[in-house]
Amino acid sequence: MVRALRVGLMAVASVLGACRDDALGAVDGSPDGADGIAAAELAPTPEAVTDTGAEAATETGAETVTATAADTFTDTFTDTFTDTFTDPVDTAAEAPDLATPSLAACPVPNFNDLYPGPIPPFPYGDWPPADACLRQVHDVAIVLGCPSKSDGSPSDCQRGRALIADQLYEAGWTDNFIVSGGAIHNAWNEADALAAQLAARGIPAAHIFAERLAAHTDENLYYATRIMQEHGWTTAFVISEDPGHLMMTALCDANCCVALGRMTLVAFPILGELTVKVGHYVLAPPGIGTSADECKHLGDMVMCINQPSRKACKDNFQLGN
C-alpha cells in the first residue's frame, strides 16, 4: 500500500542517512463544506477547493525498497517509536483483509460482561485488543471535536486526535474522516481546525467531511452518523486522544443516548505491536444495538451521568433536525 510504504521510506531514509526529495510534504489547508473539503490556504473560514492528489506522491519510490532496508526499518521503528497515544500489545498487527466476514457482523461483548461490577473501569489502563474480525478496513473515522486555543492555533487535543487519525490512515485502516464540532468554547470552529490538521498531515481533502453544528459529544455522534447514512457507510472508528473521554462520555452517548449504533472500545493495531485506543462503531442496523439492560448497567456504574442534559438522545431529542 502506497501510504504505508511511504512511512517505511521516510524511516529508511533516516536510518541510512539518505534524503528523499520525493517524500510527501505536508499540505497546508483548511476545510469547508460537509460534502468533502480540499487543502487551501489556512484561514478561519476557508473556501472549498479541489484535492491536489498528494496521495500519489511516492508510487515510484515505493518500488525501490530492498528487503534489507525493509528489515532495518521494521527493527529500528519498532525499537524507537514511542508515543503517548499508543499502547503495546502482545499480538502483531495484521494487514487489512477484505476477505474477512462483514465487519458489521463481527461479534462484540455484552457491556455487562465487558465491564462487570459496580465500579467504572480505569480508562487509562489496558483495553481489549481488536480481534481478527474487527481488524478490517472501516468506512470512516469520526474525529470528535475539541476547542482551539484562544488565538485560533491548534490545541494539544486537536493535535493528538489528528495524530491518531493519521496513524489509522497510514496503516490503511480507513480512507475517510468526519471532523465534528462547532465554535462552542471560542470563536474558532472545531471541525475546521481539525480538518486543517488532517490536511496538513497529507490526508486528501476530498476524504475529509466537516460537520460544524455539534456542541457536545452526543451531537458529534448524531451528526456524524447522519453523514455516514448519507454516504452508505456503516462502520467507523471514533477518535479522541483522551481514553477517559471515549470511555466515560462517548461510550454512553453513542450507545445509550443517540442509540443509532453500537460502539465498543478496543486497542487497534497500527504497526507491529503498537496500538491506538479507539471506538469501533457500527450502525444498527446492520449491527446490533445496545440493550436497555446494558445501558442500565453502565448507568449504575456512574458512567452515563450526562444523559439528562443531552439534546441528541433518542428518548428526549431536542435538536430539531
What tens digit of pLDDT does each residue of 242-255 get? 999 999 899 999 99
What CA–CA distance (Å, rounded) separates 182 from 136?
Answer: 31
pLDDT at position 101 is: 61
- HSE-up of 27 (CA within 13 Å, CB side)? 26
How does pLDDT run across 97-134, given as a tens digit for each residue? Answer: 444 569 999 999 999 999 998 888 899 999 999 999 99
Instruction: Say which residue the cell 472549498 belongs to.
Output: 48
Q: How confident is the model at residue 208 (pLDDT cuts 50, 70, 90)?
A: very high
Instruction: Give buried/exposed letters for 50-76 (b at 16+ CB in 10 A, else e).
Output: ebbebbebbeebeeeeeeebeebbeee
Cα torsion through 276, 59, 53, 177, rounded to 10: -20
Pick from 296, 313, 210, 300: which is nearest to 254 by CA? 313
What CA–CA distance (Å, rounded) separates 147 from 64?
Answer: 42
Q: How confident is the model at residue 3 (pLDDT cuts 50, 70, 90)?
A: low
Cα torsion through 77, 78, 83, 84, rounded to 10: 180
